[in-house]
Amino acid sequence: MRTPFLLVTRSCKAIHRLQQSAFVSPVSALYRHQTNSVLRNSSTVSCKDDRSYYITTPIFYVNASPHLGHLYSAVIADCLHRYKLLQGFNSKFATGTDEHGLKIQQAAAAAGKDPLTFCTDVSERFKHLFNSCNISYTDYIRTTEQRHHQAVKHFWSVLWNKGLIYKGSYEGWYSTQDESFLTALQVGDAVDSSGNEIKVSLESGHKVEWMKEENYMFRLSAFHAQLLDWLKGNPQAIQPEIFYQVVLKWLQDDLPDLSVSRQRSRLQWGIPVPGDAEQTIYVWLDALVNYLTVAGYPDIHNQWWNVAHHIVGKDILKFHAVYWPAFLLGAGLPLPQTIYVHSHWTVGGKKMSKSLGNVVDPLERSKQFTTDGMRYFLLRQGVPDSDSDYTDDKAFKLLNAELADSLGGLLNRCTAPALNPAQVYTAFCPQSFPSEQGGRAVGEDYHMLEAVKNLPAVVEQHYESMHVYKALEAISACVRQTNGFVQRHAPWKLERSDITDQRWLDTIIHVSLECLRMYGTLLQPVVPEISDKLLSRLGVQPDERGLADVNFLPKIRGMDCPFEGRVLGSDTGVLFTRLENLDRDKQNPKKTKKAKK
Ligand code: ME8
């Protein structure tokens, strides 16, 4: 007997049932997290709302314009946020800009602008990029805002009152570019572009300078054991696994106390240390607190702070997986539920840099590929565990193959007036396609239905672990299978005057439209505009697009399909217009393919 198709209605019960399918449910994951000792021992009273979710991106430095990597972090976070909304969660999504520190102070001076004007200009550029790319943040934070100053000062005072900050003197290496203190082991020799011998950070390659000054130190060393306990008790806290292992390895070494202020005489552009106007709070302590500021800290913040998830690039892992949890433990606050870490985009195999002239402007590319095209490419090709290399050619090929030809082609076939003259969601005939074999459908067709039926659970598992590319791979494989199904049965060859042929033709289209409805629903977090176009063409109303509405192919289980017989949406426009790679096509004119009808 074939396994019965998952029945999903729009009720909460049904959402739970969907989550209880083969894969880990986000709700149970939340429960597991809450019981860990770190959270139990924290002083904040937990009043966690299981239907709340809070996701953040790093806040980006405003010393330079946004590039592809920044958009990538934002697109991942946006995808997870939209996915949670589809699951029925109340989701908060924060992004923004990191505006204090020596690096920004120097960049503003070099631009001949006062720091705040300079920060506002660049922050607006980030905001413009994110708005243009449909990044649906619910809060855009700037560290120069009053609410943030208050949060940072309060946070500092809590640590101070607990005796976790003391006045000391720091002597060692400092990288302004990374705004980071380094030990001798983290520094190596190099030669700069003028041939001078310099010291650089081994991790980032950025120049470091020797620094000696009086400042405040945080008792990081006191949290060594607790950090290890937290990680050992929560192997899912840092994902993917490869980065969890990196952090565990760091924690095998000593954890020296951390300098958390700079002399005001050197750094004016920052938040003054409460009670000491001669010192400025270290920019990383300032910046990390942004996540709390958005959650409402120091006022009521539990609803969001108990369900916080951070997306970060691998370059800032130590700040998020060592310093930040230690600060939070010190302040008696719960730790983030997950730190999702992604690797980097390179261009031509090299790190993007102004001097190499290989920085990819995401705004310009998203005009070329469309916003959804850009989002799809980043999420389909970006692999969190290892670096991904960007080329325009890859983007053209991928988008043409998967969005224009495969998905767009499938929609065209099922809605073409030649096959679907009435322009309706055609009827399903159970005799032609019975739940068990025996009609006109063949074994491969049942395999396809099985794959599509299982898709929500597969996609959930991959979205939940930030492996969006695997979710897209699975959807793309199903789209190919559905195209294969149509191709195999060649509905255009059927004899319309024959009633059984006509019923079979309608059934082929009905099944394909059901598959498309599934793909459109699951793709909403990745390509919101294309999904909207697709679902609108199928006649699926905005309130029928949640994950709980999917209820795939109910007719095969003898149940009603609310879509059957509906008139299709009137927008017959192309789902995704084939892209012409002008540069490549100029070089290989014979290889240029005409857009498929
Ligand atoms: O570090 N590929 O800001 P930042 C992928 N303000 N992602 C990349 C990337 C690349 N090549 N380059 C950058 C900061 N990113 C601090 C953060 S958070 C409290 C403070 C992304 O402007 C990635 O997410 O240098 C990386 O971690 C972040 O941008 C660094 O941005």
Q: How far, in Å, is the centroid of ligand 1 from the Cα of 250?
A: 20
Q: How far, in Å, is the centroid of ligand 1 from the Cα of 73?
A: 8
- Long-range contacts of 571-575, Cβ-Cβ distance < 8 Å, separation of 24 or more: 571/533, 571/536, 571/537, 572/415, 572/537, 573/533, 574/404, 574/408, 575/403, 575/404, 575/407, 575/408, 575/411, 575/412, 575/530, 575/533, 575/534, 575/537
Q: Pocket of ligand 1, candidates 316, 386, 389: which has the most ligand atoms within 8 Å of its Cβ, to mutate?
A: 316
What is the number of the ligand 1 atom nearest to the C-alpha of 60?
A: 22
Between the alpha carbon of residue 23 and those of residues 86, 240, 308, 456, 547, the distances in Å are 17, 17, 21, 10, 15
What is the number of the ligand 1 atom nearest to the C-alpha of 345?
A: 2
What is the number of the ligand 1 atom nearest to the C-alpha of 351?
A: 11
What angle (nearest 5°) sits at the alpha carbon of residue 50, between those of residues 143 and 17? 135
What string of pLDDT tens digits covers the 597 residues of the chain? Answer: 333 333 232 333 333 322 323 222 222 232 233 323 333 233 333 344 579 999 999 999 999 999 999 999 999 999 999 999 999 999 999 999 999 999 999 999 999 999 999 999 999 999 999 999 999 999 999 999 999 999 999 999 999 999 999 999 888 899 988 888 888 889 999 998 888 899 999 988 899 999 899 999 999 999 999 999 999 999 999 999 999 999 999 999 999 999 999 999 999 999 999 999 999 999 999 999 999 999 999 999 999 999 999 999 999 999 999 999 999 999 999 999 999 999 999 998 888 877 778 899 999 999 999 999 999 999 999 999 999 999 999 999 999 999 999 999 999 999 999 999 999 999 999 999 999 888 999 999 999 999 999 999 999 999 999 999 999 999 999 999 999 999 999 999 999 999 999 999 999 999 999 999 999 999 999 999 999 999 999 999 999 999 999 999 999 999 999 999 999 999 988 999 999 875 555 445 444 343 333
Dist. CA 581–CA 79, nearest whole Å: 27
Q: How far, in Å, is the centroid of ligand 1 from the Cα of 69?
A: 7
pLDDT score recorded for residue 596: 36
Q: Pocket of ligand 1, candidates 62, 65, 73: which has the most ligand atoms within 8 Å of its Cβ, to mutate?
A: 73
* Phi, psi angles (nearest 5°) of residue 175: -105, 115
Alpha helix stretches (DSSP H) within 201-240: 224-233
* Helix and strand element counts for the chain (H, E): 23, 18
Dist. CA 538–CA 342, nearest whole Å: 35
3-state helix, strand, coil in the chain (%, to 5): 50, 15, 35
- For atom 18 of ligand 1, the residue with the nearest CA is 58
Q: Pocket of ligand 1, candidates 57, 67, 72: which has the most ligand atoms within 8 Å of its Cβ, to mutate?
A: 72
Dist. CA 105–CA 95, nearest whole Å: 22
- Please report, as a single letter, which amino acid is at residue 536: S
Q: How far, in Å, is the centroid of ligand 1 from the Cα of 60?
A: 6
DSSP 8-state code for residue 161:
H
Cα pseudo-dihedral 96, 99, 103, 108, rounded to 10: 120
pLDDT score recorded for residue 155: 98
Between the alpha carbon of residue 430 and those of residues 4, 423, 489, 558, the distances in Å are 15, 21, 16, 8
- For atom 29 of ligand 1, the residue with the nearest CA is 70
pLDDT score recorded for residue 204: 87
- Sheet containing 209-218: order of strands: 180-182, 165-175, 209-218, 258-259
Q: Are 37 and 227 in contact (CB under 8 A)?
A: no
What is the number of the ligand 1 atom nearest to the C-alpha of 314?
A: 27
